[in-house]
Amino acid sequence: MARKAAYRRKRQNKTGMLLVTTVVLMMLIVVTVKSVELREKRATYMAREEALMQEIEAEEARAEELAEYEKYTQTKKYVEEIAKEKLGLVYEGEIIFKDER
């Protein structure tokens, strides 16, 4: 009977080890798959971050241009240009030449 008990314990140990090994392998597979998914997400986020950084730079440049344009619109030269182009105003005594077309 001692031999049967020892055989059962050996068999149970082998079965237990097989189950533990199977669980560990399954966990390893799951971790590997999730790791790959996380790397893909990271690459996507890095690309999005780069695109957003470029967009920020473009908007900052546009803001600078608008600030310069705002300063320009406050000058006398700008007012004169708009008065001549849109309103057709001229200085007193100024002569305008137009093409005959």
In which domain, by residue range, is 34 found?
2-87
Task: Give 54-90 pLDDT, tens digit per residue.
Answer: 999 999 999 999 999 999 999 999 998 998 888 888 8
Q: What is the pLDDT of residues 9-62, one digit of tens each?
A: 677 788 889 999 999 999 999 999 999 999 999 999 999 999 999 999 999 999
Query: Is position 98 within any domain?
Result: no
Residue 96 maps to a domain:
no
**101 within a domain of the structure (yes/no):** no
> Would residue 100 count as lying in a domain?
no
Q: How does DSSP classify residue 93?
A: T
Query: Is 25 within the bounds of a domain?
Result: yes
Burial class (CB in 10 A: 0-12, 13-18, 19+), 95: exposed
Total tally of structural domains belonging to the chain = 1
Please answer whether residues 44 and 38 qualify as being in contact, where contact means their C-beta atoms are separated by less than 8 angstroms.
no
93 found inside a domain: no
- Is the pTM here over 0.95, yes or no? no
Rounded to a whole number of angstroms, the CA Rg of the chain reads 40
Within-domain flag for 94 = no
